[in-house]
Chain A
């Protein structure tokens, strides 16, 4: 167990190094100039700026410095916010994205499991048909349409009620979180519902379930202990990749709902060619995802006794 964990962690570190290198190379291939401003500056001033960000050194030396700084967890200073460190920016914006992402994952997995189980129970009956219709919508409608329509629906709702039940944008309270995280989790929820449904149906026809019923176990026990529990397993396996999809896919939701998350910040940084922020955010997100995948894999070993972590 410990050896396995250690091995995974070392692999993870090598992966992070790979991500960092790929980011560095991609970033230095970007045409354009992060220091160009609306007002042209003199050659002397440019030189000073380049020295400040270490861009005057040869590429190989920049790479070594960059890796050295990364190892110490230092992502450098932002180009657009000249007196703020990228670390500060991540520290301020990431918790927001994480909160949004955690809620979205919780919504998606609980919703997916519940709706999936329901559709399997009422197969080809009304609940199944209604839920599967929404699942199809959830799978096929792009997230930006959901976000825009979701916000519009909120405005109409508040208009109809005559008071502001839920805020239409912004961040900071429970009520701010509800709709954006639902919108963010919707696609994943639809996907998980489908997965849950087919895995439930597979189990219904399995031998052990028939045995359990033949033994005369109470229906509730069969359902929760045998059917639901086993059907959830495949859902857990896809949670890792889903976390990745949700945390990085929050750009749209964050910009539509004016949420100060890291995703929106990243897109802005790209638009402003803020080298250090782009590199820092990408490496940070990459490391975060690597860690998440390791954790989900380890968790899976606890949930599914068939999987032995050697």
Chain B
């Protein structure tokens, strides 16, 4: 049977169903699920991938760091306070400190002189009595004293004119000090008589202190006069001589924990709340969303502070939990609104209606359309919520309302560091840089995710 003109003649056979395999669409490219597609697009975004690596590195730093760098973050070492990275670590061992009764072991001389060799344990000064002195004032300077200029730090004042010695123990370091002793008259006015001396104390610690810190010398057991090397602090130490690296790692646990857990919780709650409102619709939706509007209207930082003090931090607690609770209580409505909007929108989309007409079950609709179409928005919200939570923690710690001491956090460490910004920049620099890197990485990752997951929210690059 061969029709002469196929365009004109049709037979009943033409209306017979075709073989099943021919109905299958021919796909020119491999089939990709939504997530595979998103992943490919994310991978193409160099910045986002770099941020992803940074986030992974930060998590490793937080989780594995303390296992590799086994230094106690709360161990204090008052001999190594506020050391920058790479500071001198050699130190001489000395006898334990004994109080001083005015005797001298160094050969006598005149003027202001040392009674004992000067060390960072103490500088013992003796001077000649000045005629007419009712008392003496001792000054210490770190720059050579110039005539007519300030004599430096008034470190002490004797109570009588017969007391002609002073023991300086205040924060001594291995640097040159310029001492001046000035005689005072009865009214406390300075007389012209003054004696001066420059002193270079030797950095020392006692054998017991060295032993308690586990220091070892190259030549067998520790003995007085030996030189030993302090333990390494790669990023220096803080204001109580605690290891910065260990504190940064433990601080990361707090900052990242708050930064990740709080957003997870409030986004989770927001999703549940928003989708419930979206699904139920009608009056319930109205009431639920009105309540969300109320919560959104609360001034965020003011209420963070209010809640923080209302919950209170008990003895020994870190205050992480109250902060997370406060963050969750105040931050969920944003996500709830977003998700509800998304659900309402998707519900009315043509393809959802089509699927429903084709007999798709609710489960299928939720799994195939609702979730993928809202997941993107949720994931993006979550990524952007992390930096803002980290900033909030840092800010609260900065005004002294953050986590309680001695728990380290990056914000709290920056707050302490800012006080000594000029003399010990490393104490501010490291925590602040970590905050910045984290915030930046999550922001860029959020951008990348948004571009990859949500065609409608895509920014053009």
Direct contact of A and B (CB under 8 A): yes
Tell whether B320 is near chain A: CB-to-CB under 8 Å: no
Contact of A142 among B414, B421, B461 (CB under 8 A): B414
Interface with A: B209-217, B242-250, B273-281, B294-302, which one?
B294-302
Interface string of A264-298 (1 = CB under 8 A from B): 00110011000000100110011001100100000
Closest chain B residue, CB of each to CB of A205: B460
Q: Verify A139–B306 contact, CB threshold 8 A.
A: no
| A167 / chain B contacts, CB cutoff of 8 Å | none
| A18 / chain B contacts, CB cutoff of 8 Å | 294, 297
Shortest Cβ gap from A112 to chain B (Å): 15
Tell whether A22 is near chain B: CB-to-CB under 8 Å: yes
Contact of A23 among B306, B309, B399, B422 (CB under 8 A): B306
CA A26 to CA B311, docked complex, whole Å: 9
Tell whether A29 is near chain B: CB-to-CB under 8 Å: yes
Closest chain A residue, CB of each to CB of B394: A142
Tell whether A258 is near chain B: CB-to-CB under 8 Å: no
Closest chain B residue, CB of each to CB of A202: B460
Interface with B: A53-61, A90-98, A174-182, A243-251, which one?
A243-251
| A244 / chain B contacts, CB cutoff of 8 Å | 299-300
Given contacts A139-B443, A270-B309, A282-B306, contact A248 B436 (CB under 8 A): no
| B421 / chain A contacts, CB cutoff of 8 Å | 148, 152
Tell whether B293 is near chain A: CB-to-CB under 8 Å: yes
Tell whether A27 is near chain B: CB-to-CB under 8 Å: yes
Given contacts A252-B398, A252-B399, A286-B299, contact A15 B294 (CB under 8 A): yes
Closest chain A residue, CB of each to CB of B314: A31
Tell whether A143 is near chain B: CB-to-CB under 8 Å: yes
Tell whether A66 is near chain B: CB-to-CB under 8 Å: no
Number of residues on chain B facing chain A (CB within 8 A) = 41
Shortest Cβ gap from A304 to chain B (Å): 19
Q: Verify B394–A27 contact, CB threshold 8 A.
A: no
Interface string of A195-227 (1 = CB under 8 A from B): 000100110010000000000000000000000
| A136 / chain B contacts, CB cutoff of 8 Å | 440
Choose among A23, A32, A137 the residue with the greatest number of B CB atoms under 10 Å from its CB: A23
Q: Verify A142–B435 contact, CB threshold 8 A.
A: yes
Residues of A within 8 A of B (CB): 11, 14-15, 18-19, 22-23, 26-27, 29-32, 136-137, 139-145, 148, 152, 198, 201-202, 205, 244-245, 248-249, 251-252, 255, 266-267, 270-271, 278, 281-282, 285-286, 289-290, 293
| Closest CB pairs A-B (n = 8) | A198-B459, A140-B440, A140-B436, A18-B294, A29-B310, A201-B460, A140-B439, A26-B306
